Amino acid sequence: MASVASSPISFAASFLRIKSFPLSPRSFPVRTLRCALSSSTSSSEPIEFDISFAPSKPTPSSTLGGGAFQQLFIPWIVRGEDGKLKVQSQPPAQLIHSLADATTQNPKKKTTKKKPQTASAAASASTSVSSSPASRSEPKLSKAARRFYNENIKEPPQRLSKVLAAAGVASRRTSEELIFDGKVTVNGVLCTTPQTRVDPARDNIYVNGNRIPKKLPPKVYFALNKPKGYICSSGEKEIKSVISLFDEYMSSWDKRNPGTPKPRLFTVGRLDVATTGLIVVTNDGDFAQKLSHPSSSLPKEYIATVAGDVHKRHLMTISEGTMVEGVQCVPDSVELMPKQHDIPRARLRIVVHEGRNHEVRELVKNAGLEVYSLKRVRIGGFRLPSDLGLGKHAELKQSELKAMGWKS
């Protein structure tokens, strides 16, 4: 037994028990079968039908090759208006209406294989495609792929002054002055607001008629062992800047990075002209702001070589702190280092976190001592490498940047 669906045009082969019989190409013999159906809406006895696939008597007018031809009837089992199943020889009206209202599908377009192009034709085609506006647009990707690209890869629009500084035009402050002076245009429109958000990859930015590159230089980070007599700003021409120590590195930039703009380097924080030791050089403004700002409370360790003998009262006075730039600065720790045979003068290890100008010198001076030399040896968790000579620099790794408290 099998259940009959409620649709009036449903028909299942499992409803029929048909014995196999040969069909002759000349005639269709009459075959009668008994069909047992079970209604899904009633619990009564199964309904039986006697179904004939051809009339019981042959039609004399229809012949095929001298033999009698009998018309083949297809039974349609439907449910009538009274809810009972019945057999009829004509298709249901609903099926006929559905076939009449059905629309045909458009035929599929035939795809023709392209003939292989020659090298010259392929080159000209690629040139024309790359120069077209459609090829310069972003490829059509799924929403998930675009969301992942925007959140993890694509950089958001940045301030105009920051983009100019990153492109090596000038410092952030000088870039703002250029914008205020009306020397910067964005997409052909004069822009006098440094806070304007721009995308260097999409927007056309000109400074004094010169277009800045769409591709910004990569971010670089260096640890420099600053020698005495160098300043940390551009300054005057007669005074050497620590950036001049990177002249050889910058001159070979194009060979090592063809097609990539040169970075504009600057120091993170400052060391005075007489102080030596560790200083970080980069072109990442966010990184420099994070490390140099007093709110970061990043510890910095100095070795101060002083003239004269150091007593306990000197250490107590230094540890109590002093006023620097109108702010009471107290060091994190003060320690008298053991004497060495090759260094006759006393040395103090002083750790501070304020980063005020001349802070360590003011602490030592307030204790009645004179600083002979001052060297910075540590920033955060990164210590100046012992094999890094004066005036030499080394590129910082991600682990070393994290030691300074930076998360890129």
Active site residues: 272
The residues pairing with 185 across neighbouring beta strands, listed in sequence order, are 190, 206
Q: Which residues of 74-112 are buried (b: 16+ CB within 10 A; e: fewer)?
A: ebbbbbeeeeebeeeeeebeeeeeeeeeeeeeeeeeeee
Give the C-alpha distances (Å, rounded to integers) separating 357 from 209, 292, 362: 39, 12, 9
Q: Which tokens in the block code for residue 186? A: 């964005």
With CA atoms as reference, report the closest residue to 265 among 255, 278, 250, 275.
250
C-alpha 398/C-alpha 407 separation (Å) is 9
Q: Which tokens in the block code for residue 84? A: 């009972």
Is the Cβ–Cβ distance between 379 and 403 less than 8 Å?
A: no
- Give alpha helix (H) positions in 153-275: 160-166, 172-180, 247-251, 253-256
Q: Which tokens in the block code for residue 243? A: 């950036």
Is the Cβ–Cβ distance between 215 and 261 less than 8 Å?
A: yes
